[in-house]
Amino acid sequence: MAECYKKISVKLFSKIVNRSVKSFETLKPHLRAANIGILLETWVCMMFFTTLIVYFISLFAVFMLNWFLGFDFLTFLYLVIFAPVMAAAFAFLLFYVYPVQKANRIRNSIESNLPFALSHMGAVASSGVPPEFMFSLLTRFKEYGEVTNQAKLIVKNIKNFGMSSVAAIKNAAERTPSPQFKQILTGIASTIEKGGDLGKYLNEMAERSLFEYRVKRENYLKTLSTYADIYTAVLISAPLMMMIFLAMMGTIGGDIMGFTVEEAIFFLTWIFIPVTNTAFLVFLQTTSPTV
C-alpha 85/C-alpha 81 separation (Å) is 7
Phi, psi dihedral angles at 259 (to 5 degrees): -100, 145
Domain positions in the chain: 2-105, 108-213, 215-287
H helix intervals, the chain: 2-20, 28-33, 40-69, 73-126, 131-138, 146-159, 165-175, 179-194, 198-231, 238-252, 261-267, 273-287
- The per-residue pLDDT for range 58-109, each reduced to its tens digit, is 999 989 988 887 778 888 888 888 999 999 999 999 999 999 989 988 998 8
* pLDDT value at 291 more than 60: no
Give strand ranges (E) for 87-190: none
- The per-residue pLDDT for range 128-161, each reduced to its tens digit, is 888 888 999 899 888 888 999 999 999 999 988 8
| Residues linked to residue 260 through DSSP beta bridges, in sequence order | 255
Q: Are 13 and 40 in contact (CB under 8 A)?
A: no
